[in-house]
A and B are shown apart, each in its own frame.
Chain A
Amino acid sequence: MSFFGPALVLLTIFLFLPMILTLIFSFTDYFALNPDLTHFTGLGNYISIFKDEMFLKAFINTVKFVIIIVPLQGGGALALALLINRVTYCKKYFKVAFFVPVVMSLAVVSTLWMQIYSPEGILNTLLGKVGIAPQPFIHGANQALPAIAIMSSWQGMGYQMIIFLGGLQAINPGLYEAAEMDHASAWKKFKDITLPELKPLCVFVFITITIGAFKMIVQPMVMTGGGPSHSTYTLVYDIYETGTVNWEIGLASTMAIVFIAFVVVLTVVQTILTRDKEDKEEKNDTYKKAKAH
């Protein structure tokens, strides 16, 4: 008990208590500038946020962002890991090079990419060289969210790459040797050995990317302010605006609770779905083995 006492005290003060307070505030109209006038409003906040056009818009934007970034970042990380696993020279250099963006602050990365995406920036200049008209990128309502997603996946990819790399190196080389004896193609080896072996890691990677993507706020805050036309306004951004800028702590707490609930449900669903498949495959495998014997 005394062993984790200090940790428990700190966690209580900085994590559990704020969480409980958020839950309590979510049922009130707590207003930062005038806490004395706080009333209990029951489920009033919960009903009103689901009628709030901005909240729903922010919700849809966030989901869109997750849908774009999960395959992009996960797939990209896997591709990078496979490439680095193959090269025999300067391995360390490549690892570090692709990992550097992860270490950089998101605000710094966002500012850098604002230059890259700027109307007369590097990317538009390059596009111009191959005869493509300048694109608005973060200044266009249709392109802003995908542009931010591409930047974010570039920034975050290195972390998952390292995880995949560890996974790849842990695969028993004997498996590949056996496959080579059977003259399996590279694709077959990837599909039947690499992917199944990496499966537990994939689950972890997809869940962490999903949760991280749901929490997205820094990029639009720095790059677009949620615009153009709210196309990059995300859930956490809405919570921040409501609580800090408009002082409506009660409403912001409600949004935070709904947000947490949604992420938890999604994670559980994701875990169950992926676990089910694994179990089935395991059963299949044992079935096959039994048959072979």
Chain B
Amino acid sequence: MKKSVLLAAALSAAALVGGCSEKEVEPGSIAGFDEGETYIEMWVYTIEDTPEGEACKESVEKFNEAFNGKYFANVEFIPRNDNGGGYSDKINASVMSGDLPDVITVDGPNISAYAANGIIQPLAELTDEEKGAYLESIIDQGTIDGKLYALGAMESSVGLYYNKDILAEAGIEVPDADHPWTWTEFTQILEKLKPVMEAKNGYPIDMTFPVGETSIYLYAPFIWANGGDLVSPDGLTADGYFNSEQNVKTMEYFKMLADKGYMSRTPIEQLFESGRAAFKIDGAWEVNTIYESYPDIHLGVAPYVVGDNWNGEKYAPSGSWAYAATTNTKHLEASTELVKWISGTDSSMLLFEKYKSLPSTYEAYERIKEFSEDENYRALYVQLRDYGHPRPKTPVYPQVSTVFQQTLEDVALSGMDAREELDKSVERINAKLSRYNRNNE
């Protein structure tokens, strides 16, 4: 037990330095917090005076009005940076010192890790009706081992955008969401577009493999749409999944796109926006960007491309930040109420209004007129509703995400052998997983 003595010494030293004592918030010390109300503290990753932060603040204010006399929620804004630092550093430090608030925001794919390490707990029971209000992808993302841990206030998706004028010029018809192009069909279309685009000093498709979370978000759907997966269903091994036969084929498909010159090997800015690409793969925000800044582009959204043997399985990109109750909270009921409120229809609509993020509930989509009137928003919604697939659920998700991007880049752009790289990746992922497999023994 020497280790625990030393660790305790280290921890207490750290605690002493940090000077963290559990602070009790007294009624009246914060405006609006009255005697008899249950106090709930929530941490969010946004910056207070951004559209996203404002929407969050407004939703919490409305929550406090609605539950006046019963609950009082206080929100603290802890900005994160692009690499996930800031906010998550604060969470990590608070896990160590035991200072976590009642409710925190968790990025979708980190729900597994937070649940596996006992940072968040399942929410109080929701009725079927309450659950049914949310998109399947929201419930799916928040559920680990059959228990619902988190609910998101927003969804996100990725579109296969196309330039209507260019496709019309080439005489290409776009299918509906239930009959997406298969890889073979899509390759033929790209081949047809190649001379057209070369004349415009461009490429058939504007896509890159950027470092960070974007790549897995954008391209893991190609894996799922080809009958592959990234990790086992329990999330505890990658062997036989990440390096499957199907995935070798998928990686080779990306390599072909680069080798045949359908995409640029180096990222060119505003390729699609300047009319020099027929297609573009990017997040849902692209719709708003095009509408606001590039009104000359006639934008369309085509369904995401699928493998040749696709049979209607879910495969489309989905998932975003969600709210969850920590294991530290003594008020699970109150925390669950807050999570439901902040991820509910009204909050979701407010977020769309200010930030243009896709909502989380069916009702919100019905009430926001863009989703019935604007064909592009409608297409993104339908794709998400019918085919949304969560990112892999594994406690070592960050490693999976990093390794996926690197494999993609190594195979597609640097021409390395797909099978060899995928096997190496499995080793790297499983090395991180050994911690969880050891704990299970």
State whether these chains interact: yes
- Chain B count of residues within 8 A CB distance of the other chain: 47
Instruction: Given A241-B402, A244-B85, A245-B84, check contact A141 B414 (CB 8 Å).
Output: yes
A119 to chain B, nearest CB (A): 4
- Chain A 185-230 residues near chain B, CB threshold 8 A: 221, 224-230
Residues in B neighbouring A141, C-beta threshold 8 A: 414
Instruction: Given A54-B428, A226-B211, check contact A28 B3 (CB 8 Å).
Output: yes
A260 at the interface (CB under 8 A from B): no
Residues in A neighbouring B117, C-beta threshold 8 A: 31, 33-34
Complex contact A244–B83 (CB within 8 A): yes
- Chain B 81-96 residues near chain A, CB threshold 8 A: 83-85, 88-89, 92, 95-96
Residues in A neighbouring B399, C-beta threshold 8 A: 246
A21 at the interface (CB under 8 A from B): yes
Complex contact B414–A246 (CB within 8 A): no
B399 to chain A, nearest CB (A): 6
Residues in A neighbouring B396, C-beta threshold 8 A: 246
Quick one: closest B residue to A24, CB to CB?
Answer: B10
Complex contact A34–B118 (CB within 8 A): yes
Q: Bound complex: CA of A35 vs CA of B10, how far in Å?
A: 12
A270 at the interface (CB under 8 A from B): no
Residues in B neighbouring A53, C-beta threshold 8 A: 424
Residues in A neighbouring B11, C-beta threshold 8 A: 35
- Chain B 108-123 residues near chain A, CB threshold 8 A: 113-114, 117-119
Quick one: closest B residue to A138, CB to CB?
Answer: B266
Residues in A neighbouring B406, C-beta threshold 8 A: 227, 229-230
- Chain A 114-160 residues near chain B, CB threshold 8 A: 118-120, 136, 139-141
A-B contact count (CB 8 A): 95
Instruction: Given A31-B435, A119-B268, A245-B84, check contact A229 B92 (CB 8 Å).
Output: no
- From B114, B266, B268, B424, A33 is in contact (CB under 8 Å) with B114
Segment at the B interface, from A36-44, A73-81, A91-99, A279-287: A36-44
Complex contact A245–B402 (CB within 8 A): yes
Complex contact B96–A228 (CB within 8 A): no
B117 to chain A, nearest CB (A): 4
Q: Bound complex: CA of A229 vs CA of B417, how far in Å?
A: 13
Instruction: Given A32-B95, A245-B402, check contact A225 B212 (CB 8 Å).
Output: yes
- From A31, A35, A228, A248, B409 is in contact (CB under 8 Å) with A228
Complex contact A17–B17 (CB within 8 A): yes
- From B10, B211, B269, A227 is in contact (CB under 8 Å) with B211
B364 at the interface (CB under 8 A from A): no
Complex contact B268–A120 (CB within 8 A): yes
Instruction: Given A119-B266, A136-B266, A221-B83, check contact A17 B13 (CB 8 Å).
Output: yes
Complex contact A225–B113 (CB within 8 A): no
Main secondary structure of the interface of A (DSSP, over half): loop
Q: How large is the interface on A (under 10, 10 to 19, 20 to 34, 35 or more residues)?
A: 35 or more
Residues in A neighbouring B212, C-beta threshold 8 A: 225
Residues in A neighbouring B432, C-beta threshold 8 A: 246, 248
Complex contact A225–B211 (CB within 8 A): yes
Q: Bound complex: CA of A286 vs CA of B196, how far in Å?
A: 79
B410 at the interface (CB under 8 A from A): yes
Instruction: Given A136-B266, A229-B414, A241-B402, check contact A39 B3 (CB 8 Å).
Output: yes
Q: Bound complex: CA of A136 vs CA of B119, how far in Å?
A: 44
Complex contact A120–B402 (CB within 8 A): no
Residues in B neighbouring A224, C-beta threshold 8 A: 211
Complex contact B83–A33 (CB within 8 A): no
Residues in B neighbouring A226, C-beta threshold 8 A: 211
Instruction: Given A225-B210, A244-B88, A246-B432, check contact A35 B13 (CB 8 Å).
Output: no
Instruction: Given A136-B265, A241-B402, check contact A33 B211 (CB 8 Å).
Output: no
Instruction: Given A21-B14, A136-B266, A139-B265, check contact A227 B409 (CB 8 Å).
Output: yes
Q: Bound complex: CA of A47 vs CA of B424, how far in Å?
A: 20
- Chain B 189-219 residues near chain A, CB threshold 8 A: 210-212
Q: Bound complex: CA of A99 vs CA of B410, how far in Å?
A: 39
Quick one: closest B residue to A31, CB to CB?
Answer: B435
Complex contact A245–B3 (CB within 8 A): no
Residues of B participating in the A interface, judged by any CB pair closer than 8 Å: 2-3, 6-7, 10-11, 13-14, 17, 83-85, 88-89, 92, 95-96, 113-114, 117-119, 210-212, 264-269, 396, 398-399, 402, 405-406, 409-410, 413-414, 416, 424, 428, 432, 435, 439
Task: List 4 additional contacts besides A226-B211, A227-B409; criterion CB under 8 Å.
Answer: A33-B117, A139-B266, A228-B409, A244-B88
Residues of A participating in the B interface, judged by any CB pair closer than 8 Å: 13, 17, 21, 24-25, 28-29, 31-35, 37-40, 53-54, 118-120, 136, 139-141, 221, 224-230, 241, 244-248
| 9 nearest A-B residue pairs (beta carbon) | A225-B211, A33-B117, A139-B266, A34-B117, A32-B92, A40-B3, A119-B266, A229-B414, A245-B398
